[in-house]
Amino acid sequence: MKKQFFHVCANGADARNFIICQADYYAAFNLIAVCAANTQVVVVSFSIEDSHPHFLLWGTEEACLRFKILYERLYTHHAAATRKGGSELVLRCELYPIGDDQDYLLNVAVYTVIQATKDGKAVMPYDYPWGTGCLVFRKGFYVLPWLFDAQGNICRPVPFGSLGARARRKLLHTREWTIPDNWLVCNGLILPTNYVDVARFESIYGTHNRFRVFLSSPKQREEAMLAKMAEQRGVMFEDQEARTLCGDTCKQMFGTRDPRRLDGPKRIKLAQQLRRQYKLSFRQLATLVRLPETEVRAYVR
């Protein structure tokens, strides 16, 4: 399959309780490393906000979808295990292919690193500790924000493999997956320098000055990008209404209201018709026709 850039993000309105404490930032941050180490995906940039994460990934659609699903599952598990009374977190990320649209790529890449500043936090992207803005277009000697401890002292990173079992589990926030032993960690964080492709991000802009121009992110440019994301995402109907639409369409096409009675190719045809007629989202289509989202995305446009 063809490799390309993908933008992955969650709806902030749905995942408004994505981060509720400092420990959540650490988990959300370190689980990106876990997903990067265990999928055939290159992480190009990311930022973590109180209400949702943003990622720019490079890889095949199938691999990037695996990254998205794994991150959703691992972070939701963390929230359920650590929040009193269980978790009511809804973390549903969307996967947006960027394709050959260079303008879209230029806008999305910078969007993934300026979120904190854009959302009103009194911090510049290169000082924000929960994103990768500090890695790009930097020259000479500088200290990454992840190396400072709570007292402002600069700490030395250590290899993950040098830690004891308890310390490793605390970093990973999962017993199921791990990371390479030679990856460096510091102050409770798996450093993005282990896995973020800084050169690929910088190649999008080419020069410091061009990146500076896009950092300003004028409203018109942002609105065009958001409109494209909305077009790709599709429409989310209320569950009952979506099931009714699916049942009616299935009856018209195949003489039954139940997609479970259809074989695979007919379920794909049903999904294609629903997408064409109602612009339903891939996630909702997968649920309605009882197929994996990977299959729906492969055959439905």
Rounded Cα distance between 4 and 209, Å, is: 25
Question: Rounded mean pLDDT of the chain?
Answer: 88
Rounded to whole angstroms, the Cα distance separating 204 from 169 reads: 36
Of the candidate ranges 42-46, 112-116, 130-134, 174-178, the one whose mean pLDDT is the lowest: 112-116
Query: What type of residue sits at position 223?
Result: E
- For residues 28-54, one letter each, b for 16 or more C-beta atoms within 10 angstroms of the residue's C-beta and e for the rest, the string is bbbbbbbbbbbbebbbbbbbbbbbbbb
CB atoms near residue 104 (< 10 Å): 20
Angle at 176 between CA 26 and CA 17, to 5 degrees: 35
Give pLDDT tens digits for 154-211. Answer: 999 999 999 999 999 999 999 899 999 999 999 999 999 999 999 999 999 999 999 9
- Give the side-chain half-sphere CA count within 13 A for 103: 8
Global pTM reads 0.79
